[in-house]
Structure 1
């Protein structure tokens, strides 16, 4: 049986981007979101992509999925099978500025994911990622990233019907999301959020899940993990990160982190 391999690329000179490659992986992910615009590519095997709506989309080799920031999603291999994939994460603010320079509209936060089965786009994405993982200089990598992200209008690709854009018509819900992203999510509780929204706890759970695809608890947990990624990139020790995020202990943090990210905190760091 082929050995599972996973590698992560980051460069302190390019803090707005990171990339990951996984081969023969059987890791499964909980529904989650990223504060970044993400592009995933299926290299081998098949997987199922789910968004905030009902249903799922089967992804075959050569497929690309473009996931806007804060779009709840999960992508997992077929039961009992392994798959290989690549995942590129680009800071949403950096991308919005680049799209503005290129005369293209940036994907709105929480917008539906989009899918591409174009062989040429898949090959270009693979070439970009190969360059990022190579020993090429930072200037060439940055130029390639800018060219790729600026050349392609991802809105031309069809949105996934299984992942409708969440409606955040209620100002109270929008305020909750802003508070979760701005405050320390480890200190927030369902009671606190319900009080801010002026809703009962049950009402809040239903409204929040309809808007984001996650319950308030799951959204808070996801926010803590995203905060943990940043703390690990800053070089904090695992025990310190677990403590700051309010986890009971380091092992609990490791289990939750791997369920969301696919690798342990130590591997990610």
Structure 2
């Protein structure tokens, strides 16, 4: 029985390890603006809509069903499903069920990168998703809907909606797309390209050769791009991917996997080589990391880490 419980916990832990589509984007680079308060949808059978919004609109169904036509695509939303209507897109909607109320949440917003680039415009994504973690996100959506002020937006709303929106992006994301009109001689364009490259690497660091493919896809000379990437982030794209792989390893080790199991899950056939690479990036061995995890669980912070500001690789004796 204990073995079955351990295996279940391990499976749950593995399922929970995902760096995230937005993992490589610095928090301060994103600017979320709620352009109006949340719309508490509560629509009878007589409800219908036909409009175009100047900003993005995320619609989440909580009860009943909603039928939409968006760019000639027919969509039916059921509880636990969400739809993104991009800015400038005409849509029509109605409640198809004469016996049930269609209830949910609609939020108008902008999500800009570096204050001027529409982040959603930089990616290909599904228009409609069913939240993969609805048992977690559903109560948050209900709370958000119930507590949002009628005529204004608040700091708490921004933070809560960012969680909801991030979950949507994680489930809807297909691939990053780079506009062909990127200004190669513009410093902001270069910063954007580096951020997008780091984001792609951080989102899937276990993919072999990803760093080099990202460099090859950037609209810059490869050596120049590697140099500027290192100047901005402190490491080359390849080393950045190595470190992100070690971050995943830290999660596996913290979850109770052995060094050999962790190495295998990260694609290393040689656990000794993995251990050397881990120590190079993190500053201690994989077993040393597990020891530190146990110390923290017991409330004993390793020396030098009491304030929670940890810089890798860790200093000897820190």
TM-score (norm 2): 0.35
TM-score (norm 1): 0.40
